[in-house]
Amino acid sequence: GGAEKVAKIANDIVEAHLENPTIKSRFEVVEDVDQLKEHVRTFFSSGTGGPDAYEGRDMLSAHRGMNVSEEELVAAIDDVLAVLEKHQAGQQERDEVLAILYSMKDEIVRQ
């Protein structure tokens, strides 16, 4: 979908997290939401073969000390999948994103 589409998806993912009662408290404390959206955008762009390089912290470093539960991880992944569906991403793409995000479980949950 190109850079513009990825930016819209990243924006909607962060907005969905801010509205999700299971995880919104994790995101309400973020001082610079626009910077978070930019990190999500470059993360997705880089992960989908786009031209941007993700320069944020790795998942383990970003989540260390947060003690994220599996329920919170699932809520975040559900948000991502709902946003991808909203933006009419294909089933194969949604399945690939699901597999990638879930593969990061050990770097995120209970760190």
pLDDT, tens digit (0-9, with 9 covering 90-100), for 50-85: 888 888 888 899 999 999 999 999 999 999 999 999
Residue 43 and residue 6 in contact, taking contact as beta carbons nearer than 8 Å:
no
- Measured between alpha carbons, how far is residue 11 from residues 16, 39, 69, 78 in Å? 9, 10, 24, 15
First to last CA, the chain: 34
| Residue in the structure block whose two tokens are 């991403």 | 89
The kind and range of the H/E element at 52 are none
pLDDT of residue 1: 61
Q: Which two tokens stand for residue 61?
A: 């470093």
Q: What is the rounded CA–CA span in Å between residue 90 and residue 93?
A: 5
pLDDT of residue 53: 85
| Of the ranges 16-20, 62-66, 103-107, the best mean pLDDT one | 16-20
Dihedral over Cα of 39, 45, 47, 51: its sign:
negative
Give the type of residue at 53. Answer: A
Q: Which two tokens stand for residue 21?
A: 């009662």
pLDDT of residue 51: 84
Does 36 score more than 70 pLDDT?
yes
pLDDT of residue 18: 97
Give the type of residue at 84. Answer: L
pLDDT of residue 89: 94
When the pLDDT of each residue in the chain is averaged and rounded to a whole number, the result is 93
